[in-house]
Amino acid sequence: MKHQEALRNIAIIAHVDHGKTTLVDKLLQQSGIFRANEQVSERVMDSNDLERERGITILAKNTAVSYGDYTINIVDTPGHADFGGEVERILKMVDGVLLVVDAFEGVMPQTKFVLRKALEQNLKPIVVMNKIDRPTARPEEVIDEVLELFIELDANDEQLEFPVVYASALNGYAMLDYKQPGEDMKPLYDAIIEHIPSPAVDPDAPLQLQVNMLDYSDYLGRIGIGRVHRGKVKVNEQVAVMKRDGKVERQRIVKLFGFQGLNRIEVEQAEAGDLIAFSGLGELNVGETIADLQNQEALPLLHIDEPTLQMTFIVNDSPFAGQEGKHVTSRKLRDRLFQELETDVSMRVDETDSPDAFVVSGRGELHLSILIETMRREGFELQVSKPQVIFKEIDGVKSEPYEHLLIDVPEDHMGSVMERLGLRKADMTNMINFGNGNVRLEFLIPARGLIGFRTEFLTITRGFGIMNHSFHSYMPSKGSIEGRHMGVLVAAETGTSSTYGIEGLEDRGVMFIHPGTEVYEGMIVGEHNRDSDLTVNPCKTKAATNVRSATKDDTTRLKVPRIMSLEEALEYLNDDEYCEITPKSVRLRKKYLKKNERDRFDKEKKWAKING
């Protein structure tokens, strides 16, 4: 059997949390890739700490498993809309996809998004109905939903004849008939070998290799990852790198890596159809072609999703700056942001008039908050502004990004959700009543309308609602959207908050801090129960007297404060506020810390509004 005939290149695509990464785990474990005594953690493909904590895949990963005489290259793709740019590029590397669908949740927005991309590339699909062991599984209905989705997406006749494998990735088994008991993953391996075609490539033609993903190493510099489309490539070979701007550079392949299990292994040569990593080619970019020096033919450039959201990253200048982090200077911040561009092609970093501020643009709130969270864990201190959508001029019309929003909610919360989304300029496009007390609502909403909505949504549905969204398109702007309704409580002085000080403020709103929290002038310590900001003193202490109190001080019981996560803090921000992020703290603050400066700013804003 020829090398190419024994290869199968597949991508695993699915909506968030439908079990892609767990499925790859079991395929790896049952292929015998790990030693019998090797300690293997769950979700081995999610190597990044943040991926493990959040249970999401952020970066695409490659792995390879052996099954008999065959090598199956598997790429695990992100399921979240913010990382959709990765999905499109990965699909160029493979010949088929495993579409993983939850046997209860069925077709979700991201299922539709990733499947559309796969069908456009004319890839062969296998549907994996996962979580079949759940008592709420409804496999027959979900298969009908999947078939409808294929028809809606104009799948060709061959694609419509998709095979279905039923699986419980968690329990490590798959079967072709969900009514029969499952034993292991063999039916899925067999389906991949039978239904996914081997790469249709020519190993004897001149070299053509495309960069689909980037990695970075302190020792090797920028590392390209891609598929050899034709020909062979060897270590130390001179090649032509065909740049995005049309220029051609002569470079030498320094190292070549193949994939085996979770490891990259050094190889001397790779052939057409192989997925490989390579280094030594300078400032590589996604979509560029590496070709034979004598036959410089470029492959079509890959489309990279444009950013839709931006934030300003600023050096931390709060009174507590430098107390909790290692990296606090503008040079460190600049270097780190530009280093991120080495591997993340969907991100943009622009310098501003100020050397201390950088505009960072990304695919969504999650995309940017993952970067911020990563940086704080690396010891950075920084401040960020409220996220803003990126407007575009399209055919002379001011346009903004819109999202396809899908909400699953208990029936009795439906009215309040629709009312709130109406205020955020959302248009309902579909409604499905499941008949079990739950309703699915679909909306088209400006991306601006989603900023800050998740926290509000969880509050009004008491945590029972589920929302998912994916980028739809740029459409004409809908005008102003109301921001936060409530004002905030702002600290009047620097000091340590006291039980007495906080107790006196509890009837003014909801506190964001515990007693004993260090605060500074201009820091936001709570939410006012009115729509205006209020300057308060949470550090106030009780005047000491020699009169014994009838009720002892230690009986004071305070309400539990609202402690925000990083995402919640970013969503909560107003235009005149910053979020200060350090390795230990997430604080909200006003841009202008002193009250007289804030008053002057408000007056100027009102005056500008009156004068148009």
Q: Is 133 annotated as a binding residue?
A: yes
Q: Is 21 annotated as a binding residue?
A: yes
Q: Is 523 left (phi over 0), alpha (psi -120 to 50) or beta?
A: beta
For helices 139-152 and 109-120, angle between their N-to-C axes, nearest 10 degrees: 50
Q: Is 18 annotated as a binding residue?
A: yes
Q: Is 131 annotated as a binding residue?
A: yes
How does DSSP classify residue 412? G
Q: Is 171 annotated as a binding residue?
A: no
Q: Is 22 annotated as a binding residue?
A: yes
Q: Is 12 left (phi over 0), alpha (psi -120 to 50) or beta?
A: beta
| Chain center to CA of 222 | 22
Q: Is 130 annotated as a binding residue?
A: yes
Q: Is 132 annotated as a binding residue?
A: yes
Residue of 262, 244, 251, 277 lying closest to 345 (CA atoms) = 244
CA distance 584 to 377: 9
CA distance 244 to 248: 9
CA distances from 579 to 272, 321, 370, 437, 500 (A): 49, 13, 15, 39, 27
Residue 29: count other Cβ atoms within 10 Å of its Cβ: 16
Cβ–Cβ under 8 Å, residues 165 and 187: yes
Helix (H) or strand (E) holding 66: strand 61-67
CA distances from 1 to 68, 74, 191, 255, 591 (A): 12, 21, 19, 28, 67
**One-letter amino acid identity for 276?**
I
What residue numbers does the annotated binding site cover?
17-22, 130-133
What residue numbers does the annotated binding site for GTP cover?
17-22, 130-133
